[in-house]
Structure 1
């Protein structure tokens, strides 16, 4: 597969690995609504925030939507959207790597972009996610009227590149049908199966097997037009005739068409890759934001409208699924996810995490009626937790910060061993869990008592006897072990010393 190359690419390939793990520190004064609450609004650099999320959310996010800077060589008040091309690629690559690790096996990534970097983005996504996991390139008509000041062609559309983590496992929903679409169904022959519509029975290519004469009820014989053939073989056509699924027109003299009954259509409409301005337009997003912040004179240049995000989340998620936006901007993704009953994580590094995102979500909790609220019957409720990035879990030498508590280190140890998120139990235990037949234990921060060798962080016979039992292999993290190599092997134990055996990559 061809790979994209750029200045400083070798360094960008290692960036995600070297990003330090940081703590997420809650800011109670900026959280809102029902507490405790799993929904997260995080202020901080999204690269470090994504790394901090890995131990708890790796493989759990059903849908990731991001609207990164487009690198349009334009100046925006809220963003520096004037990154040099190689810098833009180096900025995106490690973030996409971490997003891939956070994505669920059956999940999907949706990236808004325009023509300046869109084609490079697709090649980079192929490299990170695998070319076979590409789903589609959606073209969204973001504006209706052309820009008469354009030098050459007026840009009226953006791309939304859609990737899966594993296309064989990816799941998506269909779009709901509209009354207008259902009105196309009739029952001109009074078929007892109900209303139906018909479709062409020919295909746009010649296949000898499927090129045969059909005798109409009127007695006339017909063949497909030149260069075409029937879309089904003769025996399948005869089966449809017996089932009264072929329509020959009111006089029995029209080219045959296949009947499709509304009652047999399940799950709505298959989404297409063309989303017209009827879905939503950029000006809708600006209008929504202006209604939320009427005193704001310089609204975000291109906030995404709620109906656009609603369509994405309808296709890609179900209620209760996790949604992530690490370029949260004005907070649209989090607001829509909240109204649609999805859990969400939004990351924004700028001051507007506090000046725009937080108050917007507060209005959502209070039941604001803009955007998609009426369409989804949003009445308010729920809440969100506000966090900032705190101290690093490990320093530059791999040593553990003394302020780190047991649940935090447990999450990192579990993730680094299993590459799966650790779900903290109601009651903490030195047994973190069992993965692929191996039990993982952590002796840290006095989980079994105080810090003396007889109990606590040192593996002794007394400590071993007190650990939850497991008949298979065991990996135990602790400050030190009183057992020799032979005894550990006999017990089926791999001992790893804190902090030296705690990998940070």
Structure 2
């Protein structure tokens, strides 16, 4: 079902009109060598930033996690996309968006649509996108994601319990949860989650080769476990006790017939069909119960035979809960890193995004967050790499002014390590308060005062409290701890001036060779350009399936006014001889050789904006 919202016709293809703006590295705010192919933190409008990523990352992002504004009416976010229509200009005059804005849902959809379209272009064919939201926009978000990513690719709408006490957002209900919607064309969830020690202990059986396994009942249990539910999965297996072998066919008159019978002896069914049973007979184990009846188990190995480190993993559930997913946990973590919470709200819990990464990405991959906030996604990537020695990369985009002081600074501290203040408590006295103790209150107070005098030198403070009928006296000591760094690097970037291909050479803002080359290559071939292939000294960009692509250009007005910027016959012949496996596409301001001479050489010419040609003629 298609979602309609006011302004959709104006933003439907707005992502196509957003100008390309090159990434500008800032080495002084980065850690490492300033590599645009590594970890990135980008400060700028995320719509423009996503467009700037296309030449390098279109179709290459393995996992997208975003936590956009929930549109509760309290965030005071602004709709400021430069869409050329009267309705959009009218909306711009009524910012910020708050609860009194009757069109706030339409504006939210108009803001999200072009960003989701660009995210779709960046996502790999086997990648996944995870979007956090709450009740305010979940139904509209689901409709937009269905339309852009395909409703058939919906994996799940997960519930994350992140506040056990509940928020007072609703008048009569204390909300304890939020949602995450996941889409993917790949069965990425088969990667599963790490097993706990308790779950690993279930693999208590060992085969002759030393491989650990657990036994599971082959008979289907629970819902749809009857024969009539799956008639094709009701069939006999035959067990020869002499040879200790199972078969789908009766081989000997002494074979024991085993059927999937339920507890009440009615016909049930197997979990597997005949073909799967036939291909996995070596995993099946007959089991005789106390009643004498035989059943069938199948082996589930802890590791695969071809990769001893490839452990079985548990299937994730649709509800995620526990202290590690709580906003309190997330707030305490950010306080440890900065000494306080610099946000007006709680950041996303670290373990929530770590778990997303475990499910969505192997040990290598690119994770993108275009609503980066405090940088939890980068922290999660580095933490996931630490746990399994992975080599994943992150790309963060944050439009707010705190992109450097908060988003990037958190990542700097996580990489390098940081110190944080904490408190250690030690119980000194615990007494049940009853009527007898109450009658002897003065004696109890003397005891407490004596303990306080005795232990005060060892603590910063002595505290007393009554909780659940008990008097507790404890000492509290302030400590400073050092959290070791996780290592790594990132490049901090801003967005450069828009590359206007129709007015490129005003002489004021000439993009560098790599930036213009990446954009020209992408627009001409719809392929991303590996930075390793670019050779500005030879004016070579790289190859696509159809062409070797060249760009004769320098960010130098004197060069662009000279004959050196032209495609000449000698240059065309050199290009033709360099690679002979496919045709050549050459971008240049001007050419001094006719097409009929170029075509036999396998060279096609594409002129850069006419403004360059006018400069050259002048």
TM range (shorter): 0.7 to 0.9
Structure 1 position 385 matched with structure 2 position 494: no
Task: Work out which of the residue numbers 285, 299, 305 in structure 2 matches 1:260.
Answer: 299
1:496 alignment partner in structure 2: 606
Q: 2:518 aligns with which of 405, 411, 423?
A: 411
Structure 1 position 443, deviation (Å): 1.1
Change (3 A) 1:81 1:276: farther
Cα distance in 1 for residues equivalent to 2:280 and 2:17: 63
Moved more, 43-52 or 115-124: 115-124
Q: Which residue of 2 aligns with 1:34?
A: 32
RMSD (Å), alpha carbons: 3.7
Shift of 1:326: 0.6
Secondary structure of 1:53's aligned partner: helix
TM-score (norm 2): 0.70
- The match for 2:407 among 357, 368, 375 is 357
Q: Does 1:424 align with 2:423?
A: no
The alpha-carbon distance between structure 1 residues 267 and 152, as it changes in their structure 2 partners (threshold 3 A), is same
Distance 1:91 1:77 in 2: 10
User: What SS class does the counterpart of residue 260 from structure 1 fall into?
Assistant: strand
SS of the residue corresponding to residue 474 of structure 1 reads strand
Partner of 1:374: none
Deviation at 1:194, TM superposition (A): 5.5
Deviates more, 1:306-315 or 1:167-176: 167-176
Larger radius of gyration: 2
Matches within 5 A, 1:310-459: 310-339=354-383, 340=385, 341-368=391-418, 379-394=485-500, 397-399=502-504, 402=507, 403-425=510-532, 427-428=535-536, 429-445=538-554, 450-451=559-560, 456-459=564-567
Per-residue deviation, residues 234-288 of structure 1 (Å, max 9, x unmatched): 8987998997613233x25467352434446644223332222255212211111
Distance 1:316 1:212 in 2: 37
Give the Cα separation in 1 of the matches to 2:324 and 2:394: 23
Q: Relative to structure 1, is the Cα distance of residues 365 and 295 closer, same or farther in structure 2, using a 3 angstrom cutoff? A: same
Q: Is the 8 A contact 1:65 1:324 kept in 2?
A: yes
Query: Which residue pairs with 1:93 in the alignment?
Result: 113
Residue 181 of structure 1: how far off its partner (Å) = 1.0
Of stretches 340-349 and 459-468 in structure 1, the one that deviates more from structure 2 is 459-468
Matching of residue 246 in structure 1 with residue 286 in structure 2: yes
Partner Cα distance (1:101, 1:55) in 2: 11
Residue 294 of structure 1 and its aligned partner are, at CA, apart by 1.9
- Go from structure 1 to structure 2 and tell me whether the alpha carbon gap of 1:81 and 1:360 turns closer, same or farther (over 3 Å shift): farther
Give the C-alpha shift of residue 438 in structure 1. 1.6
Tell me the alpha carbon deviations over residues 463-484 of structure 1, each in whole angstroms, 9 at most, x when there is no partner.
2133363333221111112222
How far the C-alpha of 1:389 sits from its partner, in A, is 1.6
**Match 2:133 to one of 108, 113, 120:** 113
Q: Structure 1 residues 101, 175: CA separation in 2 closer, same or farther (over 3 Å shift)? A: same
- Rounded to whole Å, the distance in 2 between the matches of 1:55 and 1:222 is 57
Distance 1:81 1:347, change over 3 A: farther
Larger RCO, structures 1/2 (Cα 8 Å, 6+ apart): 1
Q: Which moved more, 1:80-89 or 1:49-58?
A: 80-89
Instruction: Give the deviation of 1:356 after TM superposition.
Output: 1.1
Check if 1:285 corresponds to 2:330.
Answer: yes
Contact 1:201 1:230 in 2 (8 A): yes
Task: Return the offset for 1:174.
Answer: 2.4
Matched-pair contact (CA < 8 Å) for 1:141–1:281: yes
Picking from 174, 184, 187, the partner of 2:192 is 174
Whole-Å separation in 2 of the counterparts to 1:47 and 1:423? 23
Give the TM-score, by structure 1 length.
Answer: 0.84
Which of residues 213, 217, 223 in structure 1 aligns to 2:261? Answer: 223
- What secondary structure, in the 3-state scheme, does the structure 2 residue paired with 1:72 have? coil
| CA distance, structure 2, for counterparts of residue 219 and residue 436 of structure 1 | 59
**Richer in helix (by share):** 2
Whether the aligned pair in 1 keeps the contact of 2:364 and 2:392 (CA below 8 Å) is: yes
Tell me: CA distance 1:6–1:199, structure 2 relative to 1, closer, same or farther (3 Å).
same
Contact kept in structure 2, 1:479 and 1:499, CA below 8 Å? yes
Q: Match of 1:432, SS?
A: strand
Sort the Cα spacing of 1:401 and 1:109 in 2 relative to 1 into closer, same or farther, 3 A.
farther
**Counterparts of 1:419 and 1:222, CA distance in 2:** 55
CA spacing shift, 1:208–1:440, aligned 2, 3 Å: closer
- Confirm or deny: 8 A CA contact 2:211 2:301 kept in the other structure: no
How far did residue 186 of structure 1 move? Answer: 4.2
Q: Is the 8 A contact 2:131 2:182 kept in 1?
A: yes
Counterpart-to-counterpart distance in 1, 2:381 and 2:542: 31
Partners of 1:354 and 1:9 in 2: how far apart? 34
Change over 3 Å in CA distance of 1:223–1:90 after alignment to 2: same
**C-alpha displacement at 1:46, in angstroms?**
0.6
Structure 2 counterpart of 1:272, from 317, 320, 341: 317
Q: In structure 2, the residue corresponding to 1:22 is in which secondary structure?
A: coil
Could you list the runs of 5+ residues in structure 1 that have no partner in the other structure?
Answer: 371-376
